[in-house]
Amino acid sequence: MRVLVTGGAGFIGSHIVEELRFQGYEPTLLDVRQPPPPPAGEADVPWHHADIRAPEPLRRALRDVDAVCHQAAMVGLGRDFGDAPAYVSVNDHGTALLLAAMAEAGVGRLVLAGSMVVYGEGRYDCPVHGRVRPGPRGAERLAAGEFEPPCPRCGAPLVPGLVTEEAPTDPRNVYAATKLAQEHLAAAWARSTGGRAISLRYHNVYGDRMPRDTPYAGVASFFRSALAAGRAPRVFEDGGQLRDFVHATDVATANVAALTSATACPEGALRAFNIGSGERRTIGEMARALADAHGGPEPVVTGEYRMGDVRHITASPARARAALGWSPRVAFAPGMREFADAPLREPREPLRVPGRAGEVPAHAGTGPPPAAPAGRAG
């Protein structure tokens, strides 16, 4: 099988390329990065140096391809709403151009880098009213240190649970909205062409080659970068936010399983799968595990917060286990020990965005762990 990996030189994409090669498949890369000079690069892997929004390079990259693994994206929460046009341009317009080129080339299999951020807050149960969906947390409660969302009907404390793929979607920031739009576009492509589209809704991905701390990096990167500089990781809120941290190598094996499965998705449809470790951990627990493995300094819980952050979001990977035959292999403790000293990438060269001052990072291939300042992991 010949597989085009968009963003194949980035954090998650590079792990996918390695896994494809390990399993005997033939990857091709499309990335805004220039290929490294031999022998550092993989000279036998075709490399298309192009923006995902460039139609002609897309057409060339799709020649003689059997499937596409679409990782190219602009990730994280960014700085402010001024980044919205860039997110929509890269993530949604870029995906639409890719899908149009796939339809023209007759490529009928797509695996999309989705994200758990499409759910908004996770699952909550009230002891009185059962399953409820709390709204966004207000500034007054957050400023008072009341971080847990209460029952929207009676105000009682809620019990967080695991989200399944059937849960309603509720994107609460621009990045999340673009990731859900990507799924809708892919579903429309599948219906129109008879193709198969699988969206892998990644949880908080970590591992070697993760980009360093920028406004678009993930919380694991922020903590890891702080420790490397001799600074204490700064944990937002009270550190009790629940997340699922999944290693990049496990995400790579999930992508290959989705690409090669003959039964996970019917023709003419999109099917979503949660991709996580299945282990619920708090942000504070992750910061402490990294600090202990690295040798300090100890994390500092700041009580700071960001509007739009969700409190708890963890999801069940049971569907992926059953339909894809996939299971994560890297457990939390050994994964954090390895990541504590793993090499990180320098931030990508910036991409200028018309209509606003400043720059945002170039996009293809950084992978989608949603991001914010330390203490935020999705």
Indicate the residue type of 168. P
Nearest to 367 by CA among 241, 238, 221, 232: 221
Give me 151's structure tokens: 């029952």
| Strands, E assignment, the chain | 2-6, 26-31, 47-49, 67-70, 109-115, 123-126, 130-132, 159-161, 196-202, 204-206, 234-235, 242-243, 245-247, 269-275, 281-282, 300-301, 350-352, 359-361
175 tagged catalytic: yes
Q: How many CB atoms lie within 10 A of CB 291?
A: 20
Those residues with Cβ within 8 angstroms of residue 205's Cβ, 6 or more apart along the chain or in another chain: 11, 12, 218, 245, 246, 247, 248, 251, 367, 368, 369
Q: Strand pairing partners for 282?
A: 242
Q: Which of 119, 124, 175, 202 is catalytic?
A: 175
Please report which residue ranges of the chain form alpha helices under DSSP H. Answer: 11-22, 55-61, 84-87, 94-105, 139-143, 174-193, 219-228, 248-260, 283-294, 318-324, 332-339
Residue 118 DSSP symbol: G
Report the alpha-carbon distance of residue 88 to residue 248 in Å, rounded: 25
Q: Angle 148-170-371 (CA atoms, 0-180°, nearest 5)?
A: 70
* C-alpha closest to that of 317 among 214, 246, 219: 246
Residues that are catalytic:
175
